[in-house]
């Protein structure tokens, strides 16, 4: 878990393409045990009390709009949550966040990209912020391998991140995401299917 607290997450993304732009709607459900300090139940030799965990669930929604060209892509939107709370110092669910993504370079070859609050799933397979290099394919424009660094909730440093899209057919892709912290205790894995309709 990138937050230091185990959680489960499910997400869905829909994309509609027009000649002049693209419309996106991304969202998900996150269920975790919210970590809080209980001061009224101190342990022996512990003047600060003990950690307690309360079940916490929130839905997040991220509508956005963007445009894609061969050598440049941009996307901007807004992210908000249906349940208030604070997951970490870097993710306050009481706030609404702007989201964006920028790609520079050939999307069918090597290109540079970074994003802010634009990943799905947001916690397990995505991150608050990521920056890295992607590699596409001239033979199959939907094939993608992305390697970079990411910043997630509960972290004050960047960690390695991997994303890949593997096409099974022209309209069916397998999406894989993996993140890992440097201390070996924080990680995230996500897998999903992308359908083009």
Other Cβ atoms less than 10 A from the Cβ of 5: the count is 17
Question: For residue 25, what are the domain limits?
Answer: 7-195
pLDDT in tens, 115-138: 999 988 887 766 788 999 999 887
183 in a domain, yes or no?
A: yes
77 in a domain, yes or no?
A: yes
- Provide the CA 79 distance to its chain's centre, in angstroms: 12
78 in a domain, yes or no?
A: yes
1 in a domain, yes or no?
A: no
**Quick one: pLDDT at residue 131?**
94
2 in a domain, yes or no?
A: no
pLDDT in tens, 6-47: 678 888 888 888 888 899 999 988 887 665 545 445 555 555
**Alpha helices, H only, the chain:** none
144 in a domain, yes or no?
A: yes
Number of structural domains (the chain) is: 1
């Amino acid at each position: 878990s990138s937050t230091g607290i185990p959680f489960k997450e499910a997400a869905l993304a829909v994309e509609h393409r027009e000649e002049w732009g693209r419309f996106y709607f991304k969202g998900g459900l996150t269920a975790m045990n919210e970590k809080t300090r209980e001061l009224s139940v101190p342990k022996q030799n512990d003047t600060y009390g003990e950690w307690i965990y309360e079940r916490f669930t929130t839905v997040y929604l991220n509508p956005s709009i963007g445009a894609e060209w061969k050598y440049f892509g941009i996307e901007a939107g807004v992210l908000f949550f249906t349940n208030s709370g604070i997951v970490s110092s870097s993710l306050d669910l009481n706030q609404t966040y702007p989201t964006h993504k920028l790609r520079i370079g050939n999307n069918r070859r090597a290109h540079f990209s970074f994003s802010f609050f634009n990943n799905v799933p947001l916690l397990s397979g995505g991150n608050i912020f990521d920056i890295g290099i992607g590699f596409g394919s001239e033979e199959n424009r939907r094939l993608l391998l992305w390697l970079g660094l990411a910043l997630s909730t509960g972290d004050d440093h960047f960690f390695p991140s991997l994303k890949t899209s593997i096409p099974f057919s022209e309209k069916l892709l397998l999406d894989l995401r993996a993140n890992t912290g440097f201390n070996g205790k924080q990680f995230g894995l996500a897998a999903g299917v992308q359908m083009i309709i």
